Amino acid sequence: MQEIVDRLTADDRGAQIARTLVYPYLNHAASMYESGYATKDDIDASMRFGCGYPVGPLALVDALGAATVVEGLREQHASTGDPLHDPAPVLVKLAEAGSTFESAAADGGATPAPQKHHPVGKVGVVGTGTMASGIVEVFAKAGHEVVFVGRTDDKVAAVQARIEKNLDRAIAKGRLTEDEKSDVIGRLTAATDRHALDDVDIVVEAIAEDIDVKLELFRDLDRITKPGAILATTTSSLSIGTCAEATSRPQDVVGMHFFNPAPVMKLVEVVSADSTSPEVAETVKALCLDVAKHPVSCGDRAGFIVNALLFPYLNDAVKLHEAGGGSLEEIDTALKETKLPMGPFELLDVVGNDVSLAIEQTLVSTFGHDGWTPAPTLERLVAEGKLGRKTGEGFHTY
């Protein structure tokens, strides 16, 4: 932690670049906390487990000192006039009191461990892509019987093959035995008919990010699954409440946003719509812990925690480059020197510039912050088909 603090408070050009991008990100996290959208621990855990950051944003504010962050933001605000650079009231309050987010959170007392209010034994998964396959693997390795449903025999066979390949890789690395592999495979049931889900305790859908396709599925699941079965969506951009409205049991519909690759990434954002029963949300959080994931709680709005904090920072990096604030390599290097796993342009190319642009457009349409308007360079690269690693060229060439 001290190494990160020292790097951010240094006097060289790289540290200046890092502060220009990191301080607004910290401000945004502080505003998210102040709004009551998520707790301090959940915000910090989201960025650690969802992005691989060495420290969460609010813990980093505490380490730097709120007064240092407020001073840096005021300097930026004086230069840019961007309301997003005006220090959040909670930061100013902590700076004036010489206090921390940690002490403020401690005043609320410890959060009890989540409990299951619904039995969850048999799991259903709908979808056959990479995310769906990973979720099937997660539950089967944790001891759950899993029924996974796809449109064709070929597609469900591909899920089975992908899981077996992952298990074989784990065996080769000494992390799994042949007997354990057999046990996992024995818990899997493939199907092409959604009626195979009629006796599961929870269904997790990981199909296309198309609201009409999802609504058709939720209407089907409402009709097919037993009373009390939890209906979860892995959507990262669509409304959980809208999915819930397609059913006669909106209280049982919840967001369960895994991160890719699901077998590796520990974070799951558990997203409650207004209609979601608190007992259902708590049951899903307890289930996440059972399968060795770290759940965080948040409400049903665009970006949830991770995307809402990550993509404005990535967009700011593009705008900084456009304004002559550093080359792609300088900016990437400056952020990696603060111990982030990747520079912003490297990360944009990994995520896909088209995906990044779509997320940023959703955030702007939801929150209306002009400062989050997608950078022209990002829009141009997408228009030119330079989407990142998947096309061989994006901000960098591969």
| The pairing of beta strand 267-272 with beta strand 253-258 | antiparallel
* Type of residue at 254: V
CB contact set of 102 (below 8 Å; sequence gap of 6+): 40, 59, 62
E-assigned strand segments in 100-192: 123-126, 146-149, 188-191
257 is known as an active-site residue: yes
145 is known as an active-site residue: no
DSSP state of 397: B
Structure tokens at 165: 């390949």
27 is known as an active-site residue: no
269, 282, 346, 360: the catalytic one is 269
Name the β-bridge partners of 230.
202
133, 166, 277, 307: the catalytic one is 307
Rg of the Cα atoms in the chain: 22
28, 85, 118, 257: the catalytic one is 257
Residue corresponding to tokens 């892509």: 129
Taken in order 319, 324, 327, 332, is the CA torsion positive or negative?
A: negative
Contact 263, 253 (CB under 8 A): no
27, 133, 236, 315: the catalytic one is 236
Q: Which residues are catalytic?
A: 236, 257, 269, 307
